[in-house]
Structure formats: C-alpha cells, structure tokens
Chain A
C-alpha cells in the first residue's frame, strides 16, 4: 500500500474511531490529558505499523490496544508524578451478568466520554469545546477557528474545563435513569448548537460551514447508535438529516441566500429525507414527543410538501402549538408566527410579532426583525418593511444574509 493510502486510512480511522479509542484509554489513564497523548501516539504509530503490516481489519481495536499499552507504560514510568494529580473518577458499573466484558461495555465508554464533556457543571461553551476536542478529536486550533476566538483563548477554555473535571471530581460515567432525561438534553443541546453554528455561520462569508455540520451529524449518528431507544436522540438525528438535506439549495450559484419558498425542491437530498422520516416516525411513536422529535416532524412536513404554497400549513400550526407547550421558547413562537401568516394571513401574524416585541426576550435577534419585515412586505407596507429590513441588516454579520437583506431594502425603496 502506498504511503498516501496509509495516511488516508489513518485519517479515516481518526475521524471514525477517535471517540472510541480515547474513551477506552481514558478509563486506563484516569486522566484526560494523558489519554489524549497516548491516543495521539497510537495514531502516529499506526502510520508506520500499518505501512509494514497493512491496515488492520478493525482499526479501532488496533488503535485502542496500542493506546492502552502506551498508557500502561506511562503509568508505570510516571507513577509518582501521576499520583499527585487528582484522577478521573471511574465508578465501577454495578456487577451483574448483563455487564460482562463485551461490545456493550465498550459502547458505554463513548457514552461516558460524551456525558462527561456535557456535564451541567461545565459552562455551555466549555461543553461544546470539550465535545469537539475529546469526542471528535479536533485540535484546539480547529475549534478556535470554528468559534472565531483566538487559539490561546480556546486552549485556556479547554484546559480550565478539563481541570474542573478532575478537581471537582466530575465522574466519568453515564448518568443514572433518574437524571438521564436532563443530562441527555444537555448532550442533545450541544450537538444541536454545533449544527446550528455550522448551518448559518454567524460571522463568515459563506452561509454554511460544512465541517461543523458534518461533525454534528456524525455525533448525532454515534449517539443514536449508542442509545437507539431514546426517542429524542432519534428526533435530533432526524432533524439534522432533514434540515441538511436542503443544504445544496440554500444558496444560489453565487452564494446568495435562497429562502425555503424559492428553493429547488428537486435537488433536496431525498435519501437523507427518507432516513429522517423513518427516525421521526419512530421518535413520535412513544407518545409525548420531546422538542427534538417535534422539530423533526415539522422539518419532515416541509420536506414532503411538493411546493411552498402546497405545504400543509394547518398541520404545521398544530405541531408548533405542541412544540410551544413542550418548549416555551420565544424562537419557537417566532417560527409559529410565520406559519400563522400562511394560515390566517400576514396581519394576524403581525399581532404575534407585536407580542414577541413586547416580551423583549428576542431583543437584538435578527430573525425577529427580518420576519416582521417580510410580513410588512407582503402587506405592501413598504416604508415600514424597509425600516424593519434595515433593523435586521444592522444585526446581521453573515455576508450571504446581509446581501439578501440589502437586496430587499433596495426592492422596498423602488417605485413607491
């Protein structure tokens, strides 16, 4: 095998197996930094070893063995040094026939890792950074770039978070059943946040950051593989897949923004939508669907509509009402207002926008101004619409969105 092919195999194993290898190694080192070093070393060793012996049939198992050997060596050598550091708390699973060594226990390790990274005692931005670093294996430089902060700032954030895990003794474990719903929601929120950051880059010149979007979907897939019976996990994965199915049509050939209304539906990724549909159906089956399953159901309804006009808006309104009851967020209320405008007209929707402006929680949220502007445009109240588009533009940093809003302002200023 050529040098390039080996490097590609190692890179592929990095993308696919990092979390698996690190999670298993951390259990040996009981120190996240040491585990990272051992896993890095194992990947470097793989370059040579695989060139000599060929790529192993199970790269993840090969890398895990190499990293754990390395960890045991280091532990033996540095015992005195390591003993001074607070060790990761690794509670032993309750013993029982169902917990014997095997695939289940190894799968648990990845869950331990992700639940530790998303522990509520860590700030949200630390949860996101740690998840990218430890679960996805991204470098500090890559994470800093994704969130537009300097590399030293991100390095400090990651170091602080790791130090809190060991000093405050955040246990390396999967939460118990009683705490699982809340803890799982934090994990899903982190993955969703990664996705939305990639879906519309807050600062960049392009609308989408495919790297973050793909990482988020990868995490969603991993979590679903590990927790197939959790409806909200399937719901989140469905939401990401169905939303991402529209990625190619969200911008035109010049990178300009294309609204849902004008997207070429024949170019939506039908395979992803079909996969999402199956997941949504499963997620809704249990009754009392959660916020991710309901958002996925909304996305699925849009995906199956033959056109914007022929969308089942009354059914969407019902779903939004259920979503609002489950998750009373002003952002959900804003999206509901758009649906109201399609069912009862823009005038009625403006009433809901007015209530949201009174509420105040969405002050400074660019999509509130943009939605209001669009309703006013549809009512042909051009001067007010122009003003609202201007308000939205003042709050927007993404270049593609700015170009779109500037276009609408020009349109509203023409031929009064």
Chain B
C-alpha cells in the first residue's frame, strides 16, 4: 500500500453563501465518504478541514504577508491522507470524495523512509 494525499480544492463562496444546511450536507457527505473508503479496500490515515483562506498567512523569504500563497478561485479547503494499492485505486477513492464546489487532486506522499 502507498500513501496518497487527496487535496480538496473548492470555491469557498459555496460554503460562505450556503449557510448551515450546506455545512450539514457536507458533514454528512464526508461521513459517508469515510465509510466508503474502507468498503473500497483503502484506509484513511489522516486529514482535516482547513479554515478559509481569509485566515491564511503566507511566509516567503521570511517576509510575512496576509492571505494565501496564490489567489485562485478554488482554494485548498481540506485534505485526506489515504493508503491505496496504486494510483488507479487512489483515483477510485478520490472520485468518492465530496467536493461540490470544486474538485480534488491526488498526490503521492513522498516516501522519506530512505528504503
């Protein structure tokens, strides 16, 4: 099994405008997702939701600025760490991951064990 990150990129406005029902639906959708991952033979090993980019602080060359690293319509809003057999398996899992206001990106986690 290999580790992958599923990065969730979404338009934050969707949640800001949506109100409590959207949050509740998202919570339920992620709950279902968590249950499905195991049924598909993979495992969630970590992950969290992130506060919106309005709370972000960027640091580059020791210079601290407000805001996220890159201003884009779809911002990183959360992530999962999963274990999957191969990329196709990770993609199968990522397709289940809810992201109604955007999409997800699958990235292999760098193996630092040094073999």
Instruction: List residues of chain A with CB under 8 Å of any chain B CB.
Output: 83-84, 86, 89, 91, 119, 121, 167-171, 175, 179
> Which residues from A are CB-within-8-Å of B90?
169
Q: How far is the CB of A235 from chain B (nearest CB, A)?
A: 26
> Which residues from A are CB-within-8-Å of B52?
none
The answer to whether B115 touches A121 (Cβ under 8 A) is no
Tell yes or no: B111 within 8 A of A by CB: yes
> Which residues from A are CB-within-8-Å of B86?
89, 91, 169-171
Tell me whether A167 and B91 are in contact in the complex, defined as CB-CB below 8 angstroms, given that A89-B85, A91-B86 are known contacts. Answer: no
Q: A91-B85, A171-B85 are in contact. List 13 more A-B contacts (CB 8 A).
A: A86-B111, A89-B85, A91-B86, A121-B91, A168-B87, A168-B106, A169-B86, A169-B87, A169-B108, A170-B86, A171-B86, A171-B88, A179-B88
A-B pair count, CB < 8 Å, reads 30
A-B contact pairs, 5 of them (CB 8 A): A91-B86, A121-B87, A168-B106, A169-B108, A171-B86
The answer to whether B2 touches A169 (Cβ under 8 A) is yes
Q: Which residue of B lies closest to A179 (CB)?
A: B88
In whole angstroms, how far apart are the Cα atoms of A175 and B88 in the complex? 9
In whole angstroms, how far apart are the Cα atoms of A167 and B2 in the complex? 10
The answer to whether A170 touches B87 (Cβ under 8 A) is yes
> Which residues from B are CB-within-8-Å of A168?
87, 106-108
In whole angstroms, how far apart are the Cα atoms of A268 and B29 in the complex? 60
Most chain B beta carbons < 10 A, residue from A167, A168, A175 = A168
Q: How far is the CB of B47 from chain A (nearest CB, A)?
A: 19
Q: What is the predominant secondary structure among interface residues of chain B facing chain A? A: mixed
Q: Which residue of A lies closest to B114 (CB)?
A: A84
Q: How far is the CB of B84 from chain A (nearest CB, A)?
A: 8
Q: Which residue of B lies closest to A84 (CB)?
A: B115
Q: How far is the CB of B87 from chain A (nearest CB, A)?
A: 5
- Per-residue A-contact encoding for B71-115, CB less than 8 Å = 1, 0 else: 000000000000001111011000000000000001110010011
Q: Which residue of A lies closest to B89 (CB)?
A: A171
In whole angstroms, how far apart are the Cα atoms of A83 and B115 in the complex? 6
> Which residues from B are CB-within-8-Å of A179?
88
Residues facing A in B11-49 (CB within 8 A) are: none
In whole angstroms, how far apart are the Cα atoms of A170 and B90 in the complex? 10
In whole angstroms, how far apart are the Cα atoms of A383 and B114 in the complex? 71
Q: How far is the CB of B38 from chain A (nearest CB, A)?
A: 20
Q: How far is the CB of A123 from chain B (nearest CB, A)?
A: 15
In whole angstroms, how far apart are the Cα atoms of A125 and B12 in the complex? 33
The answer to whether A171 touches B87 (Cβ under 8 A) is yes
In whole angstroms, how far apart are the Cα atoms of A168 and B85 in the complex? 11
In whole angstroms, how far apart are the Cα atoms of A83 and B106 in the complex? 25
> Which residues from A are CB-within-8-Å of B2?
169
In whole angstroms, how far apart are the Cα atoms of A346 and B46 in the complex? 64
> Which residues from B are CB-within-8-Å of A119?
87
Q: Which residue of A lies closest to B113 (CB)?
A: A84
The answer to whether A167 touches B108 (Cβ under 8 A) is yes
In whole angstroms, how far apart are the Cα atoms of A167 and B87 in the complex? 9
Q: How far is the CB of A200 from chain B (nearest CB, A)?
A: 35
Q: How far is the CB of A368 from chain B (nearest CB, A)?
A: 32
In whole angstroms, how far apart are the Cα atoms of A86 and B86 in the complex? 12
In whole angstroms, how far apart are the Cα atoms of A203 and B86 in the complex? 40
Q: Which residue of A lies closest to B1 (CB)?
A: A169
Q: How far is the CB of A179 from chain B (nearest CB, A)?
A: 8
In whole angstroms, how far apart are the Cα atoms of A46 and B28 in the complex? 63
> Which residues from B are CB-within-8-Å of A170?
86-88
Most chain A beta carbons < 10 A, residue from B87, B90, B108 = B87
Q: Which residue of B lies closest to A178 (CB)?
A: B92
Most chain A beta carbons < 10 A, residue from B88, B111, B114 = B88
> Which residues from B are CB-within-8-Å of A121?
87, 91
In whole angstroms, how far apart are the Cα atoms of A179 and B88 in the complex? 10
In whole angstroms, how far apart are the Cα atoms of A277 and B111 in the complex? 53
